[in-house]
Amino acid sequence: MAGSIFGTAFRISTFGESHGKAVGVVIDGCPAGLIIDEDFIQAELDRRRPGQSNIVTQRKESDTVQILSGIFEGKSTGTPLAMVIYNGDQRSGDYGHIADKYRPSHADYTYQVKYGIRDYRGGGRSSARETAARVAAGAVAKLLLAQEGVQIQAYVSQVGALVLQKSLEELDLSLTESNDVRCPDPEMAEQMIDLIKAVRKDGDTIGGVVSAVIKGCPPGLGEPAFDKLHADLGKAMLSINACKGFEYGSGFAGVSMRGSEHNDSFYEEDGKVLTRTNHSGGVQGGISNGMDITFRVAFKPVATIIPEQESVNEQGEAVIVTGKGRHDPCVLPRAVPIVESMAALVLADHFLRQRTAK
């Protein structure tokens, strides 16, 4: 399937559908000798898996990963590293009612017109189930980045109209995993959880924003013109299900500033070139400058809702569609590890590419 490969030097190819036998990934380009911590990979998958709290989908999947190749005596061999995650809790019968109907704002219609065939069971390949493979691959990328002192931390900063007002410097990111919504501010987290529960009770869904920071990234990563670091990060984030927007550094807020306000002044400290502000978000000219890389990812409300909606079927006839099955009322809590994983894949790729630049 075209479009299932991501990366250049550190390249992944994912496979599988929501209600197929399994989802999985093949990593090509992972350097030999990397210690593959299987417990860490599983822990990352556990952060993404369904059924982990009462504000996410109640589909029960252990998301147990099996490494099929590319590892010997606990280390990568430099050959393709393949991982598979078998599906266990499919309820394909929940989707029989939409076998020939197009669900509003889903990929049903677009997949049908592109391929002439579609797997309507849970959305098939368009399902967020596919992201389990990305998280498995992202965990390997994180292990590689850890050797370089790079850390990636994402968190929920907005649910609906509830916006976390504290700056990154004011937040204790160690608190992110302390609550179900993955917001590092406990008071705001409770409000967000209450809102998601209320929306779920109405049979509706809600969106929001995941913010992220990459610390420890050295200057010099990123390629000229088309493979700029922020462009690859943007592509990575926009490839995630339900993502509707990406901005880094000052983002859209920067348009209201003057250059004299927005420019990041340089200074030197302990032999390092730093900037006094970070409106650039750690990237200038498409290349990392050594400062923290900051970005935000916007996610729409999940398209599956319980109330009746008008639509058409494959014959173009008017129909009514109702939501069934098990779905997230808000994708944000489970999107956090996905955002981190996609960022890790981009950084790992650019680290390996940089080795050939000088």
Residue linked to tokens 């008017």:
318
pLDDT value at position 238? 98
Is 90 a residue whose pLDDT tops 60? Answer: no
How far is Cα 351 from Cα 238, in angstroms, rounded to an integer?
Answer: 21
CA distance to 7, 148, 194, 274, per residue, from 143 (Å)? 17, 9, 35, 27
- Distance CA(330)–CA(198), nearest Å, equals 11
Model confidence at 92: pLDDT above 80: no
| pLDDT score recorded for residue 1 | 56
Residue 57 scores a pLDDT above 80? no
- Chain-centre distance of CA 195, in angstroms? 22
- Whether 200 shows a pLDDT value over 70: the answer reads yes
Beta-carbon-side half-sphere exposure of residue 217 (alpha carbons within 13 Å): 31
Q: Say if residue 122's pLDDT is above 80.
A: no
Look at 295 and 128; give whichever has higher pLDDT. Answer: 295
Computed over every residue of the chain, the mean pLDDT equals 93
Looking at the predicted structure, is the pLDDT value of residue 104 above 90?
yes
Q: What pLDDT is attached to residue 53?
A: 80
Categorize the per-residue pLDDT at 125 as very low, low, confident or very high, splitting at 50, 70 and 90: confident
pLDDT of residue 248: 98
Does position 96 have pLDDT exceeding 80, yes or no? Answer: no
Question: What does the alpha-carbon distance between residue 343 and residue 142 come to, in Å, rounded to a whole number?
Answer: 9
Retrieve residue 96's tokens.
């029989």
Range list of H helices, the chain: 38-48, 108-115, 131-146, 186-201, 229-238, 259-262, 332-354
Tell me what the mean pLDDT of segment 5-14 comes to.
97
Is it the case that residue 2 has pLDDT exceeding 80? no
Mean pLDDT of 268-295: 98
Q: What share of the chain has pLDDT > 90, as a percent?
A: 82
d(CA 164, CA 166) in angstroms, rounded, equals 6
pLDDT for 93: 54
Average pLDDT over residues 197-224: 96
**Mean pLDDT throughout 9-30?**
95
Residue 334 predicted with pLDDT over 70: yes
For residue 283, name the pLDDT band (cuts at 50, 70, 90).
very high
**pLDDT over 80 at 251, yes or no:** yes
Which tops the pLDDT comparison, 145 or 124? 145
Identify the pLDDT of residue 222.
98
pTM for this entry: 0.95
Query: How confident is the model at residue 182, as a pLDDT?
Result: 98
- Give DSSP secondary structure letters for 286-311: TEE-SSPEEEEEEEPPPS--SS-EEE
User: In percent, how much of the chain has pLDDT > 70?
Assistant: 96
Q: Quick one: pLDDT at residue 326?
A: 65
Which of 38 and 58 is assigned the larger pLDDT? 38
pLDDT of residue 59: 65
Mean pLDDT of all residues in 61-74: 94
Question: Considering only CA atoms, which of 132, 18, 141, 144 is closest in space to residue 65?
Answer: 132
DSSP string, 68-83: -SSEETTEE-SS-EEE
232 alpha carbon, distance to own chain's centre: 13
Query: Which pLDDT score, from 0 to 100, does residue 54 have?
Result: 80
What pLDDT does 4 receive? 94
Q: At what angle do helices 38-48 and 131-146 cross, to 10 degrees?
A: 140
